[in-house]
Structure 1
Amino acid sequence: MFSLRLLLSLLPLVVGRPELLYEPARYPDVPEYGPQPNPPYMVDNQHNYFKTAPDKGEQNGPVWRESGSFDSYMSTIANISAASSSAPTYNHTLIDINGNVTIVNSPTILSNVAETSYWLPKLAPLGKASTCRCGGRLEINYRNLLPVATTSSTVTLLNMVPIIHGKTDATEAINAAVEDGGRCGLECGNTFAQGAIVYFPPGTYKICRPVIQLYYTQFIGDALDPRTIKGCDTFEGIALFDTDPYIPGGNGQNWYINQNQFFRQIRNFIFDLTDMPLATNDNDQPLVPTGIHWQVSQACSLQNLVFNMPEATDSSMVTHVGIFMENGSGGFVSDLVFNEEISAGELVGDPVGKNKFSAIHGDDLKFNGCLTAVQMVWDWGFNWQRIEIEGGAIAFNISGRRGDTDQGIGSVSVIDSKISNCPVAILTNSRKDGVNGPPNIVIGNLEMNNVGITVQDESGDTILEGSDRVDLWAIGRRYNGYEGTYTSGPVDAPAKGSRLLADDGKLFYRPRPQYEDFGIDQFRIATEHNCKNDGTGDNTEGINAFLQQAKDAGQIAYFPAGIYRIQGDGFYFSDAHNPHVVVQVGNKGDVGTVEIVDMIFNVQGATAGAIVLEWNVHESSQGSGKSFGYVGFALRVGGATGTDLDINTCPKFGFDSACICAALLFHVTPQASGYFENVWIWLADHDNDMSVYNSPDKIANQISLYAARGTLIESEGPSWFYGTGSEHTVMYQYQVYGAKDIYLGHIQTETPYYQPVPVAPNPFAGAKEFPGDPSFADCTTIGCQEA
């Protein structure tokens, strides 16, 4: 193992520059060596051009050092269970393609399961998995007890006292719980059908090798008593939690395609990195101690996490990193606290694919004593909001430019934030090479205390002096019509609508609700009140009655995991000339409170006249109309088994009327308002239940679906859209029409890849028009004829 100083001496110097030495008297907590550079594997792995990708180790997913293999581990568990006559079981139901049913009873080990009043471990097991084809059979997994291992419905980890007290290595137990049930690993590549919640009972979990979060998995600790994930002093690997393992000798390839990492979350944990070694090398691969390797895309989130790391002093040059995310596409983080660490609270690198993130929270996205709080190597856009940084050397280091194209930061916004006792608020670069210019920066309502320089470039030149406050300032290209010029300085912009602001003058926010203070008796269960979650029948009347009952009883309407089918008579949703709403939230003119969390809305087959979701409710008080929370609301049309909008029906570059599937995906009507967070509106551009693992063509699962419009916002406010995305529809992705008092905090869009064949508005020419529809009649260029 390298000594720390030798390891750092081999790294290219990124930020440890003489011109960035600080006044010891003014900043006594900054060690003499200053902020440290990133390890090469966190910087230069685009196309693995510089051969620095972390693929030189031996770990390829879970490490079974003690048991030898997953099968051996599960066999040992089964033998222990068989020795206990009182061992409970959970049911595993297999349904083959012909409808034949086999029920398997598998043992579990439950040892003094810790009591908690948190509702999730009691209600989540009521769910059913979505339909999937696994090994030639149709598989629906469910359990009715707290199990040792996973199903596609929900998971609760084994609660053995030595494991939860952090006395023994829990890595294999957790990885077994995640993997059991034929989950989506290396050769699967992607899925919308094999999801799981992994719930961690109360305790401390000692981790000595990475825990692998398989595709479509959520790790959830107790919201009332977050779990401690404690890295051991012999830890080896890339991170405590790894969402996308690198393949040894794979020339930089991962298990999963980074832009295709959907529906993940990690929430309610404390990561303790204080005992981890200074280097966590995997054989020949140098690595530094890291909390989470977070390489994900849309509908993913981190929430309510604390990262505790050792303090950097003159005599202790530590290397710890809270979160390492080198690429991906979209995402959202909130409620994060980073304490006493040396490198990056958030680290974004490697210009592969797309990186579009939005980060917000009110009083708990904090960096305390981090030498570099946020270190970004590249991005396309990142929105930092309500961030608090105390101490350290650099708050935001966005000076990096790496990869074979030397791409750097596209844009960064720092809004409604506070930085204290830090020499440099933002370190940028001023390189202009005609291809990759310097970062575009927007600073809005930034409060500072004892900050030497607000914006500095990597050569040491001051761009914006330190001050107590920056109201609104920007550097980058500004446009007046089609003409843009590169400039810096204060921005003269219209004032934000007062209805968008909280009492402190900042943009209003509220955290994603977890309902941790509600008891089981305050939930009304849909499947116990005439609603079926097995994908059969028509639940329209049942769901409407259930929601009314829950409202009248003052209860939370809880839908256990599954598929709730609703349908109209005949071709009710199929006529593009006469569209109908599928899910209507409230009636026009309604005032009140509605929250929708952790739900997915979809359609099946040719539904050309579907308005998939219409929002009509206006808040009764500020923020009470927060609706679709944190991963919870995804509007996902097609691209999955059972939708009839897949690779078999709608292959790419083909056109079939059976693939025309919506008139409008999401509509916020004029009289409505709402607080929308981490909402993903996705018309599928590929079949996510088709694996491309063995295919040299990684876009072989692309499909051609047709929906006319993405997100139509007519709200007269106030409405907040934090970290939302809308993709692949024919006419537009977002249309803000006749609206006011709207805040869009970093929106993400993609146009249909198949355009201009056909050009817009086809295949919806002549169909019913909606307010704000663009006209393509006068287009004279191909670009004008596209969304």
Structure 2
Amino acid sequence: MRFVATTLICLAHLITSTVALGSQCSAPLGSGTAAVGAPYWLESMPHVGTAAFNPTPSTYKVYRNVKDYGAIGDGVADDTAAINAAIADQNRCGLGCKSSTTTAGLVYFPPGQYLVTTPIIPFYYTALVGDAKNRPTIVAASNFNGFAVIDADPYIPGGGGAQYWVNQNNFFRAIRGINLDLTRIPPSVPANGIHWQVSQATSLSFVKVTMSQDPSVVHAGLFMENGSGGVMSDLEFIGGGTSVIVGNQQFTVRNAKFSNAKIAIQAIWNWGWTWQNIQIANCGVGIEMATGGTTSDTQTVGSEVLVDFTVSDTPIFVRTSTAQSTFAGSIYIDNAKLTNVPIAVGTKAGATVLAGGTKTIVSWAQGKIYSGSQSTGQYVQSNITPPSKPASLLDSTGKIYGSGRPLYESYSTDQFVSVKAKGAKGDGIQDDTAALQAIFDQYAGCKIIFFDAGSYVISDTLNIPVGTDMIGEMWSQILIKGTAFNDVNNPKVALKFGNAGDVGTLKVTDIVISTVAGSSGAIATEVNIQASSQGSVGFWDTHVRLGGSKGTGLTTSECVKLQNHGMECSSAFLSMHITTGASAYLENVWLWNADHTLDDDPQETQIDVFSGRGILVEGTDIWLVGTGSEHHLFYQYRFHGAKNVYAGIIQTETPYFQPSPAAPSPFPVSAAFKDPDVSVTGSALALSIESSSDILIYGAGLYSFFRAYAQTCLDTKNCQAEIATVSDSTSVNIYSLSTVAVTYQLVYNGQQTINQSANINGFASTVTAWSSDTLSVSAEVNITARKRSRKHRRALPLRLASEH
């Protein structure tokens, strides 16, 4: 029987793999075949992408190679004008334009040294992308003059502090695969590598900034003073006075290295920030979060979650405002390995809060902690009970698993297939359902499916097989449209990733999924695939954007606020569904139901657009890294029957119009989709956890900014009564629960548990740690990853070919 069982399991795997391969495939995709020295595939691909809703789509260029605009890249010639010309060409969204989705710009840098003397200004909806095989370097000249080498939101000269774009709405930007060199700038001359004042749907990844290591240096690799982000990942900062200076409502940083700086990370304000897998070496201070005191006006850093740190040869790991027992900024440290770090947590005045040395900080908190139904928290500056972490969420070193977006740097162009080359139009008008389905049916599993820039209309379910790799040229749009998606009582999946029981891989990158008006029955995405290896089902830089842009019929012209709109302004039934048995890794995924218009509206007018639900997670082994979900009627995040989830940060806003109409109006309740009851408060939930286990949330920014479009409730902190609920669940741990204008931060098993009034932390209110288990102060703590017992290990299912 053992031999037979093994044979059947292997056979099941062969069936799965065979079925996943398209009809034109002779073998799986396998490893990259690009020749040594060959250009990066993105440079060599034919670029036939378009901006479908641009006034002149036939002539507008999305892809721009800076060398086509005169850049030399020899480190000698001044390339500033050429690079900025590549960015600005064809009347793109620069100074005077608030936002635009119709003027996308993918600005590509081949290998080289690009000398600049004044700032590079990436316009709205711009991605600056370098050769991933041989990263280009932007070199600041010795006479560089400007605020930052790359400035994503310049201050207008003589504008009294005004900037090009509103920071909270500075969406859709990327810098990827580019290095910066500031070492030619005299050390004592202030300079910033990147001014990154951005919000959601932005990414800074695979970037290295090198600065002087002279003792007099005052350079900063990155400066961010505002915004509402966002994700930064796979970064390295060497030298400088301060590696990064950061302030934002919330942000996630994963996999970053800091070395040889006076200060590695200087936090200037936030409501919540999560740092995951960070290395700090040979710096004066690791994290400086002291901003002057303990009041809301002087201690402006609200919360820092520090998970999986490695710190060496640094006198102070974390420096905060004061050692007294007041709420001087929330801190949670999880798994920080220190080597020759004398002070783990200290104060600006020189006091030691937590001694360092060579040690591992397993679980340490500064702030208010709560357990279960406790309504009164305990302020601590001490070790606390560590969470139990499922082994399936951890990498081989015991850290939370993480994965950068696929770059396919070793792959050649013949390993890609262009959807336009195979018949898809992407013009935002013609129906591409059949063409796209044929491409997936033919090439899934053996080719990387390349979505040239464009807007691809689908009018029926698009079945995307297990084993698919798909990547957009630059936020390529799939536009869901048609009567199949118009019935709220009979919802229909638009993008179906795999089928129930599938085991394998999936990679989705640089895609925007949208709907048109009246799509009340659209389930935008459904994920059914169980990952065959850790994190092998993944979405990166992929967003569900519902309304607010041209081509959707959900803009100011149709859905301006306070006009008693109904289903004609509906956008979706559900944005994303991770089904029972499925697993997924999400990084920089934003599920946004539009609150304002992005195109042709300098006032950024608010609109009433109705989306039923954000993300429903029923699967197992889930990572949500730097995700957001906003303005959905029932909930933003719903975990029902979910197991083994890591999330950090999750960011939400509830609908501005509620409770007028009251949630969930105009949508009906669906028992089939396990809707929570929101009728009592009339407001959507940000977070709902029910019948779930082993949920780790490392940073939650849950905000309610309006009550029926009025904001007087901000002052009284009661725009809505409840925002997060946990019920009938085990091993749920939430760190840095930061809420805005909500009376009860947490409702546990139906009981209004934590009132925000006890946790005011500047503008927000923060719970440093809450656990469904007992959370207590302890002198010594030990953490072990729980291993699945043999009886709980997943067996590969045996399926017949006919089931597909």
Tell me if the contact between 1:274 and 1:309 (Cα under 8 Å) persists in the aligned partners.
Answer: yes
Take 1:140 and 1:432, find their aligned partners in 2: how far apart are those partners? Answer: 61
Supply the AA of the counterpart residue of 1:598.
Answer: D
SS at match of 2:97: coil
Tell me if the contact between 2:512 and 2:543 (Cα under 8 Å) persists in the aligned partners.
Answer: yes
- 1:235 equivalent to 2:127? Answer no
- 1:386 equivalent to 2:277? Answer yes
Tell me if the contact between 1:124 and 1:561 (Cα under 8 Å) persists in the aligned partners.
Answer: no
Take 1:777 and 1:274, find their aligned partners in 2: how far apart are those partners? Answer: 59
Take 1:757 and 1:785, find their aligned partners in 2: how far apart are those partners? Answer: 16
- 1:171 equivalent to 2:80? Answer yes
Take 2:721 and 2:71, find their aligned partners in 1: how far apart are those partners? Answer: 64
Which of 532, 547, 555 aligns to 2:440? It is 547
Structure with bigger strand share is: 2
Supply the AA of the counterpart residue of 2:612.
Answer: A
Take 1:433 and 1:183, find their aligned partners in 2: how far apart are those partners? Answer: 52
- CA shift, 1:123, in A, is 2.3
- 1:517 equivalent to 2:410? Answer yes
- 1:334 equivalent to 2:225? Answer no
Take 1:687 and 1:432, find their aligned partners in 2: how far apart are those partners? Answer: 47
Closer/same/farther in 2, CA of residues 130 and 430 from structure 1, 3 Å limit: farther
Q: Which runs of 5+ in 1 are unaligned?
A: 1-113, 133-137, 143-150, 281-287, 693-697
Supply the AA of the counterpart residue of 1:374.
Answer: I
Tell me if the contact between 2:659 and 2:682 (Cα under 8 Å) persists in the aligned partners.
Answer: no
Name 1:739's counterpart in structure 2: 642
Closer/same/farther in 2, CA of residues 215 and 170 from structure 1, 3 Å limit: same
Name 2:740's counterpart in structure 1: none
- 1:636 equivalent to 2:528? Answer no
Name 1:583's counterpart in structure 2: 495
* Structural mapping, 1:84-233, within 5 Å: 116-123=38-45, 125-132=47-54, 138-142=55-59, 151-158=60-67, 163-233=72-142
SS at match of 1:565: strand
- What TM-score does the superposition give when structure 2 sets the normalisation length? 0.75
- CA shift, 1:331, in A, is 1.2
Supply the AA of the counterpart residue of 2:320.
Answer: T
Closer/same/farther in 2, CA of residues 116 and 156 from structure 1, 3 Å limit: farther
Take 2:203 and 2:660, find their aligned partners in 1: how far apart are those partners? Answer: 35
Deviations 1:79-134 (A, max 9, x none): xxxxxxxxxxxxxxxxxxxxxxxxxxxxxxxxxxx9842111222622111313xx
- 1:669 equivalent to 2:569? Answer no
Take 1:225 and 1:663, find their aligned partners in 2: how far apart are those partners? Answer: 44
Take 1:529 and 1:161, find their aligned partners in 2: how far apart are those partners? Answer: 33
SS at match of 1:212: coil
Name 1:727's counterpart in structure 2: 630
- 1:300 equivalent to 2:202? Answer yes
Tell me if the contact between 1:415 and 1:444 (Cα under 8 Å) persists in the aligned partners.
Answer: yes
Supply the AA of the counterpart residue of 1:703.
Answer: I
Supply the AA of the counterpart residue of 1:237.
Answer: G
Take 1:407 and 1:650, find their aligned partners in 2: how far apart are those partners? Answer: 41
Closer/same/farther in 2, CA of residues 786 and 321 from structure 1, 3 Å limit: closer
Deviations 1:40-86 (A, max 9, x none): xxxxxxxxxxxxxxxxxxxxxxxxxxxxxxxxxxxxxxxxxxxxxxx
Name 2:720's counterpart in structure 1: 783
Closer/same/farther in 2, CA of residues 431 and 189 from structure 1, 3 Å limit: farther
- CA shift, 1:714, in A, is 0.8
**Large movers: runs of 4+ above 4 Å:** 159-162, 401-404, 431-434, 777-782, 784-787
Supply the AA of the counterpart residue of 2:82.
Answer: A
Deviations 1:452-481 (A, max 9, x none): 110012222111110411011111111233
Closer/same/farther in 2, CA of residues 380 and 559 from structure 1, 3 Å limit: same
- CA shift, 1:433, in A, is 12
Take 2:635 and 2:148, find their aligned partners in 1: how far apart are those partners? Answer: 40
Take 1:411 and 1:306, find their aligned partners in 2: how far apart are those partners? Answer: 26
SS at match of 2:145: coil
SS at match of 1:126: coil
Name 2:340's counterpart in structure 1: 450
Name 1:703's counterpart in structure 2: 607
Deviations 1:475-494 (A, max 9, x none): 11112333323222222144
* Structural mapping, 1:462-501, within 5 Å: 462-467=352-357, 468-480=359-371, 481=373, 482-501=375-394
Take 1:515 and 1:559, find their aligned partners in 2: how far apart are those partners? Answer: 15
Supply the AA of the counterpart residue of 1:196.
Answer: G
Take 2:416 and 2:260, find their aligned partners in 1: how far apart are those partners? Answer: 41
Take 2:508 and 2:292, find their aligned partners in 1: how far apart are those partners? Answer: 40
SS at match of 1:541: helix
- Mean alpha-carbon deviation: is it higher for 473-482 or for 501-510? 473-482
Deviations 1:540-579 (A, max 9, x none): 2221221121125x11111111011001496221111111
Tell me if the contact between 1:776 and 1:785 (Cα under 8 Å) persists in the aligned partners.
Answer: no
SS at match of 2:366: strand
Name 1:573's counterpart in structure 2: 485
Take 1:141 and 1:479, find their aligned partners in 2: how far apart are those partners? Answer: 59
Closer/same/farther in 2, CA of residues 603 and 736 from structure 1, 3 Å limit: same
Which of 244, 253, 256 aligns to 1:346? It is 244
Name 2:751's counterpart in structure 1: none
Take 1:249 and 1:299, find their aligned partners in 2: how far apart are those partners? Answer: 30
Take 1:159 and 1:762, find their aligned partners in 2: how far apart are those partners? Answer: 52
- 1:595 equivalent to 2:507? Answer yes
Tell me if the contact between 2:48 and 2:452 (Cα under 8 Å) persists in the aligned partners.
Answer: yes
Take 1:156 and 1:613, find their aligned partners in 2: how far apart are those partners? Answer: 33
SS at match of 1:648: helix
Name 1:359's counterpart in structure 2: 253
Take 2:337 and 2:41, find their aligned partners in 1: how far apart are those partners? Answer: 39
Identical-pair percentage: 38
Closer/same/farther in 2, CA of residues 473 and 202 from structure 1, 3 Å limit: same
Take 2:58 and 2:320, find their aligned partners in 1: how far apart are those partners? Answer: 51
Tell me if the contact between 1:540 and 1:566 (Cα under 8 Å) persists in the aligned partners.
Answer: yes
Supply the AA of the counterpart residue of 1:140.
Answer: P
Deviations 1:749-779 (A, max 9, x none): 11111111111111113x4334441113445
SS at match of 2:652: strand
- CA shift, 1:321, in A, is 0.6
Tell me if the contact between 2:323 and 2:347 (Cα under 8 Å) persists in the aligned partners.
Answer: no
Supply the AA of the counterpart residue of 1:347.
Answer: I
Take 1:383 and 1:124, find their aligned partners in 2: how far apart are those partners? Answer: 39
Closer/same/farther in 2, CA of residues 161 and 558 from structure 1, 3 Å limit: closer
Take 1:650 and 1:780, find their aligned partners in 2: how far apart are those partners? Answer: 21
Name 2:265's counterpart in structure 1: 374
Name 2:656's counterpart in structure 1: 753
Supply the AA of the counterpart residue of 2:150.
Answer: F
Which of 508, 532, 540 aligns to 1:620? It is 532
Q: CA RMSD in A?
A: 2.2
- What TM-score does the superposition give when structure 1 sets the normalisation length? 0.77
Name 1:415's counterpart in structure 2: 307
- Name the count of aligned residue pairs: 629
SS at match of 2:280: strand
Tell me if the contact between 2:49 and 2:61 (Cα under 8 Å) persists in the aligned partners.
Answer: no
Supply the AA of the counterpart residue of 1:581.
Answer: V
Which of 579, 604, 608 aligns to 2:520? It is 608
Tell me if the contact between 1:759 and 1:786 (Cα under 8 Å) persists in the aligned partners.
Answer: no
Take 1:338 and 1:245, find their aligned partners in 2: how far apart are those partners? Answer: 22
Take 1:377 and 1:679, find their aligned partners in 2: how far apart are those partners? Answer: 26
SS at match of 2:442: helix
SS at match of 1:176: helix
SS at match of 1:197: strand
Take 1:305 and 1:540, find their aligned partners in 2: how far apart are those partners? Answer: 37
Take 1:570 and 1:704, find their aligned partners in 2: how far apart are those partners? Answer: 21
SS at match of 1:174: helix
- CA shift, 1:359, in A, is 0.8
Closer/same/farther in 2, CA of residues 786 and 376 from structure 1, 3 Å limit: closer
SS at match of 2:556: coil
Tell me if the contact between 2:199 and 2:229 (Cα under 8 Å) persists in the aligned partners.
Answer: yes
Tell me if the contact between 2:518 and 2:570 (Cα under 8 Å) persists in the aligned partners.
Answer: yes
